[in-house]
Chains A and B, each alone.
Chain A
Amino acid sequence: MTAGAVLGSAPLGAAAAVIGGAGVPWTPDEAAYPLTADPARKYGFFSQAEAAFVEAAVARIVPADALGPGAVEAGVPIFIDRQLAGEFGQATRWYMKGPWAKGEKTQGYQSRYTPAQMYRTAIKVIDEAVGRAANTSFAKLKGEDQDAFLGRLETGDAQFADVDAKAFFTLFLQNVMEGFFCDPIHGGNRGMVGWKLIGFPGARYDHRDYVLQYGKPYPLPPVSIAGRPGWSA
């Protein structure tokens, strides 16, 4: 045998770049610095109507108020758009072979839809339902009516033939949390507003000086993987 050889692991750069596409700032399975989201970016996945739904809905999940900016200000709609356009939206990592069955609750996600398909279908049927009931779209409902509608999705009281409303809401709520609290390189948590709200210091990598500072506020501002405003570029 040859000495201490490590064989295999051919570079996957070319193929992986295509898979990663515009949706995620890293290249899957390739060690690399992530690319920071372009703050001027427009929607790449959502249609205008879908974007209107998402912008309205995320504002109800994390509203802007006296405590600080909400999900819209944090860039959560753009974050979700990037995710759905990329590997996550296509369920690239998931086992998506049939046969398909509804399954028990304990058997987890069993929908044939990828996350991108789930959003597309759910937003369509939600706006259709709102159209039938109130002759408008979700985005144009009053805030309290939007809350009531989201509440029916959350509990499963709202039922649609084409999509499991509760499964969609679970996915959506998770994605809003991701977009509000992720590193800003992903397009969400813009200005680190999610982290500032709660006091999370971000991508700092050395807390040794603070472990034993019982009860004392952490003194440093949050920082992203890409740094923070005010750092030398």
Chain B
Amino acid sequence: MTQVLPKVDVLLIGFGWTGAILAQELTDAGLGVLALERGQWRDTPIDFATTFAQDELRYYWRKELFERPAHDTLTIRNTLAETALPMRDLGSFLPGSGVGGAGIHWNGQVWRYLPSDLVAKSHNLARYGKAAIPPDMTIQDYGVTYDELEPYYDKFEYLCGVSGKAGNINGAIQPGGDPFEGPRTRDYPNPPLDMPYGPTLYGQAAAALGLHPFPHPAANMSRPYTNPLGAQLGPCTYCGFCEKFGCGNYSKASPQTTILPVLLRKPNFVLKTDSEVLKINLAADGKTATGVTYIDAAGREFEQPADLVILSAYILHNVRLLLLSGIGKPYDPVSGTGVIGKNYAYQITSSVNVFYQDKILNPFIGAGALGVITNDYNGDNFDHSGLGFIGGGYIGVLQTGARPIETHPTPDGTPKWGAAWKKAVAANYLRTSTIATHGAVMSHRGNYLDLDPTYRDVYGRPLLRMTFDYTDNEHRMSGYLTEQAARVGRAMGAREIKVNKRVGSWDVVPYQTTHNTGGAIMGTDPKSSALNKYLQSWDVANLFVMGATAFPQQAGYNPTGTVAALAFHAAEAIKTQYLKDPGKPLVQA
């Protein structure tokens, strides 16, 4: 028997970064907001205290803070011709679980996309012509521009206390920053973090080669910081247990450290944990969401009516809930029609290890976004004529803390075990730095998300099915980035380098990035996109869908900055436009 609960103004499904942002903004507008989070309550002093947070086995390898595949997973395959099988254990990506979502265990890498990234299709057509975009490459423009998002990028950077150095303030290039970035109105709120030896050596070599190194923008505090909401963060201690861990020092921006201390005190906000939404309910016309059906930890089922529904779960769950709720037309990769599940994309990464003979680098000193980066080969910052690909990525040394189960690099030719392995690990651990490349993934006709025909979750609902592989564009681009990384690596004055190119099909096993994107993309036309520029569903006007779900393709940057900017941009549109005439589309199709 489903119990019907009293109606709320706004219902949020999922309570990570975007849920917290929307809740904060919409409670400010006087609305009553209810957030339903399927996971548990989590907070710094009880869940990742400094007395036990630095446990590599427990938090990374045994995945204490991440989603449990036993509860919910997805099926995966590289091509339409294969049978998808369940991702039985986590590997390639690590979605979060519980309050704060992946915003707890992220690195704090805060990027803005290039102005040209947001208009990838029209920009590349204009510069390189039609031949640059193969017929099966389904890239699109976002439908929103960098200039429109700039104030919201800024808002997130100040919310998070980002440590960094501006490269372009109102068009004036700033020494020491990223000269390729879009213009910003002011510098970051905090100065860059202190830079360890390894990234510094990368920066010196890159500069000598004529590249433009700068400190990675980091939501790790370089000094004590009070954000505009009044939340206080402490200085980062470079402990090296940041990426894949919760921060015990209140030094990494997360929903818990930047928004919740303020939001949870508000009388017009309620958070229910252990409450999993089964589907979004629609009115008889199919064009209005009436609320959701959810189930609590005791197994009781509730119907929760709401005027406005905001889907703010992880991208994979957002797409699955849309499909399970019958919202929007599912994408068909054969005909290329439909929009839900379309343009799933990801990230392509590679690395180059740099082994020194004598230099002690102390790589265990680290923070999630601590490093020196070059963007000379990101986006369209370089001429792609004759290269056979579009897009790019950043290259740099990020020193995130060489936790030893995960990180004990050895030179080429070293066996994986035995006395020779032991000798090589002992000789190289303190003396190795690793250059990472972090490349874009363009969308492709055959890369998409739908519901699996066979496998089910604990509630008997179909799992999401992911069909994805890298295409020639990604392999050529990543190969090019890896060559550039090796060039800098050879210039770093080391004994030897080891090049770890990304080869073959996408593999679910090795960790790569938790940067899944697309599946309900934003755009200007309901035929080719699921959401308008304010992340409002074209099909259901009182439904907004947050997250990287909206990205038509993935740029060469970590997505969180753009995810947050789009969320603030949507919140502003809801407050200033939607609420004047609720239930109406903000953009006429």
Contacts and interface: CB of A to CB of B under 8 A. Distances in A.
B82 A104 contact: yes
B93 interface: no
B272 A4 contact: no
B70 interface: yes
A130 interface: no
Interface string A192-214: 00110111111111111011111
B162 to A, nearest CB: 19
Interface string A91-108: 111111101010111111
A107 to B, nearest CB: 5
Given A93-B69, A104-B78, A5 B270 contact: yes
B271 A200 contact: no
Contact of A34 (B58, B83, B506): B58
Interface in A143-181: 147, 150, 154, 173, 176-178, 181
Contact of A6 (B200, B273, B421): B273
B461 interface: no
B65 to A, nearest CB: 10
A73 to B, nearest CB: 12
Given A106-B508, A214-B197, A5 B271 contact: yes
A187 to B, nearest CB: 10
A183 B55 contact: yes
Nearest to B66: A93
Contacts of A177: 405, 408
Contacts of A103: 85
Main secondary structure of the interface of B (DSSP, over half): loop
Contacts of A84: none
Contacts of B194: 208, 211-212
B62 A183 contact: no
A1 B34 contact: yes
Interface string B262-281: 00111111111111000000
Contacts of A4: 264-267, 269-270
B296 interface: yes
Contact of B63 (A60, A93, A106, A150): A93
B91 interface: yes
Contacts of A108: 76, 87-89, 91, 507-509
B46 to A, nearest CB: 4
Given A8-B41, A65-B419, A194 B89 contact: no
A7 B55 contact: no
Nearest to A87: B62
B479 interface: no
A205 B249 contact: yes
Chain A facing B: main interface SS? loop
B267 to A, nearest CB: 4
Contacts of B130: none
B50 A205 contact: yes
A29 interface: yes
A211 B196 contact: yes
Interface string B63-78: 1100011100100111
Given A4-B267, A10-B297, A178 B61 contact: yes
A62 B365 contact: no
Most chain B CB within 10 A, of A6, A34, A173, A181, is at A6
A132 interface: no
A62 to B, nearest CB: 6
B459 interface: no
Interface in B18-44: 32, 34, 40-41
A186 interface: yes
Contacts of B509: 106, 108-109
Given A94-B70, A147-B418, A215-B360, A198 B425 contact: yes
A33 interface: yes
A94 B89 contact: yes
Contacts, number: 232
A24 B194 CA distance: 37
B199 to A, nearest CB: 10
Interface in A5-50: 5-10, 24, 26, 28-29, 31-34
A207 B52 contact: no
Interface stretch (B136-144, B236-244, B314-322, B568-576): B236-244
A185 B52 CA distance: 11
A31 B271 contact: no
A61 interface: yes
A1 B88 contact: no
Contact of A8 (B91, B200, B269, B297): B297
A99 B75 CA distance: 12
A8 B362 contact: no
Contacts of A91: 70, 88-89
B430 interface: yes
A67 interface: yes
A142 interface: no
B402 interface: yes
Contacts of B76: 106-108
B170 interface: no
A7 B297 CA distance: 11
A215 B69 CA distance: 43
Nearest to A60: B418
Nearest to A172: B417
Given A6-B264, A182-B405, A212-B194, A107 B417 contact: no
A63 to B, nearest CB: 5
A200 B364 contact: yes
Interface in B296-321: 296-297
Interface in A64-78: 65, 67, 70
| Residue among B200, B403, B405 with max Cβ neighbours from chain A (10 Å) | B405
Contacts of B405: 177-178, 181-182
5 closest A-B pairs by beta carbon, nearest first, are: A198-B429, A8-B273, A181-B404, A8-B274, A95-B69
Interface of A: 1-10, 24, 26, 28-29, 31-34, 60-63, 65, 67, 70, 87-88, 91-97, 99, 101, 103-110, 147, 150, 154, 173, 176-178, 181-183, 185-186, 194-195, 197-208, 210-218, 225
Given A147-B418, A207-B362, 4 more contacts: A63-B419, A104-B82, A108-B87, A205-B239
21 contacts: A1-B32, A1-B34, A4-B266, A8-B273, A34-B55, A62-B422, A87-B62, A91-B70, A95-B69, A95-B87, A106-B506, A108-B91, A154-B416, A183-B56, A186-B57, A197-B425, A198-B404, A198-B430, A205-B50, A207-B240, A208-B238
